[in-house]
Each structure stands twice: as structure tokens, then as C-alpha cells.
Amino acid sequence: MQDRILVGCDLHEKSLLLKIARGRDRADMRSWRNTPGDWDRMLADLRRRAGGAKVVFAYEASALGFGLYDYLTDAGVETYVLAPTKIAKSPRERRTKCDEKDAERLLDLLRGHVLAGNALPDVWVPDPQTRQDREVVRARLDLSVKATRVKAQVKMLLKRNGLRRPEGLGKGWTLGYRAWLRGLTGKKSALPFGARVALGSLVRQLADLEREIEELDREIKALSRSERYAETARRMTTEGGVGLFTAMVMLTELGDLSRFTGRKRLGAFLGLTPSSDETGEGADRKGHITHQGPWRVRRALCQMVWTLLRTDAAEKAYYDRLVAKNPKKKMIAVVACMRRLAVRLWHIGVEAQREAGVFAGRAVRRAG
């Protein structure tokens, strides 16, 4: 297999550091700026080195997205995007960050895959439309997280200043409770100056966030009616506890649902399977769930499960049976319900996507 040029790339916002080797030969190092013009020059240099041989390229997934992957695959380069959390590193390697060693490590992984058939810890690369749809849904989810944080700040500010919710305002963020908060920001408020100003700022922040949430909800509703999502989202929302937004979180984060070959692969991808500690003849001890994969889907599933437990008697009975076995660890039962719901939605989604012809014929690198 000496006829392939193998490239491990340590990708940064402003630069790319490459370790380049032909098969098992000694690696050369080359660096480029991370700009479209330098991508062209980098590709020309790799093709010159290859002399007609195949180029295989690998880099780690990051917040920079998949622009480099698109560019290289469009140019005919076999490209892999690797999951940083699945690349084994020693404690010393985790403490000492070195771009050259990172690129060398990626090159070694690529060599093991190409020359010896070792499995690569590569990620599924979503198509451009799925990435753009994710931007909308993720922005909406981020706003929810920010709004929750602001609400917590309001409650803590009131506690620090010895104020409690008046009787008769109900529970939660009712209209009456919000009106009372606005009253506390006025000049006749019982709050001292600093707390009054801070509360006013938090109340305005919350109002702005909620207006943005409403705007994005309209965008997501329109997106859910598109050909790609309409039928799948409709079927998912027939399940108890599943709303339109949470269904769209799952659809945009997971993309092509048929890439999962079974419920175990799905559970592992979502990070809902327990970690395992088994050595020699010792017992296989199970630990906390791995928390790998998209946290946004786990968050959505958790919200759906709590809604389901309040509204579905059968699911509540299943949850109660699990809690009865281990009363002190109720979250184990919640996670089991999350995994169970995820599998149900996966079955629904696979069938709906197949019937709608969504993702049909698209090449998928790996299942999960």
C-alpha cells in the first residue's frame, strides 16, 4: 500500500499543520494558513507529492465545521473527520498539547486504518442542508438555556435580598409573578438600589430572550413543514411527550436515521449506555452513562420523558418498577426511559424517512 499519500492534519482557526507520508515512509511536516487560497496551494502540493497516487486525509472534528471536508471530498481526496473524544491519549499527552505531535498521532491512526485495516474513530459528516437546519434549531436551544440561566439569577437575587413570592401568584413564571418583578424594578421598590438595577437588567434580558424564542419557534415550525421533515416530524409528535421542537432537535442532530444498524448502536451514539469496568476475571462493573454524542438530544429526551411520566400511565408504571428496584438512584430509571423513548422515535423516524425518500441514495461513511 505504498501508493498512497497519507496526511494527518492538526486544524486551527488560522493554520493547518500537516504530517505527510507515503505509506510507511518517514513523515514530512508542512504548515499552511487556513484560508481558501492556501487550501488550493496545499492540495496542489499534495497532488505533486502523490504523483498520481491516492491522497488520504484526516483531521479532528471541531467548532470550525466541515468546510475543509467538503473542499477535499469535492476534489476527490478521501477524507476522514475524527472524533477527538474517541482518540486514546495518555495522561501525559492530555497535559502537553503540541500541534506537531497531534498531527503525528492522526497520521498514525490513518496509517493503522489504511495499512492494517484498523477501525478509525471517525464521525458521520452531515450533508450541508442538515448543517444549516441544525443552526436554526441549535440557536433556539441555546436561547432556552440562556433564559433558564437568567430565571435562576432572578431567583437567587431575590433570595439574597430576603424577598419571597407573594401568595396568590401561583407557581412558575405566571403573568402575575412577572408583573410583581417589574414592580420591584421601580423607584418605589423595596429593593435597595443595586439589587433594583440588577433585577431590571435581568427582567429586560428575559423579555428579549423570550421574543427571540418566539421568532425562532416560527422558523422551526416552517422548517418542520418542509419536504425533508414534514412526515417524520408529524409521526414523531404523535408519541406522548414529544413536541415539535424536541422532534426537530432529534431529526437535525441525528440526520439520516437509517445509518444506525440497531438500538444498541443508537444508544451508544447518544451516550445513554453505561460505562464498563471489566478486568481479567473480575466482574463487569457498570458505571455512569458515557455522555458521548450529542448532548442536545439527551437534553431533549430528558424533557420529553418528564412530560411523558406526567401524562402516560404505562410509562409511569414502567418508571415506578425501575425505581422500586433501586429507590436511591432514580436517574437510572429516567435514563432507561430516555433510551426506550429514543428507540421508539428511531423506529418511527426510519420508516417515515424511508417512505418519504429522505436521504435515499446518499453515501454514509459510518453508522454512528
pLDDT in tens, 208-265: 999 999 999 999 999 999 999 999 999 999 999 999 999 999 999 999 999 999 999 9
Which positions ≥6 away from 219 have C-beta within 8 Å? 136, 140
Domain-terminating residue out of 202, 224, 246: 224
- How far is CA 96 from its chain centroid? 27
Same domain, 245 and 327: yes
* Per-residue pLDDT at 367: 36
Specify whether 281 is located in the same domain as 240: yes
Contact call for residues 216 and 143 (beta carbons, < 8 A): yes
- Mean local confidence (pLDDT), 92-113: 86
Question: Strands 4-11, 15-22: parallel, antiparallel or unpaired by DSSP?
Answer: antiparallel
Domain end (from 224, 255, 279) = 224
Q: Within a domain: residue 121? A: no
pTM given for the model: 0.85
**Within a domain: 123:** no
* Domain span at 318: 230-356
Residue 97: CATH number of its domain: 3.30.420.40
Helix, strand, or coil (residue 33) = strand
**Average pLDDT, integer, range 281-310:** 82
Of 130, 81, 335, nearest to 232 (Cα)?
A: 130
SS3 107: helix
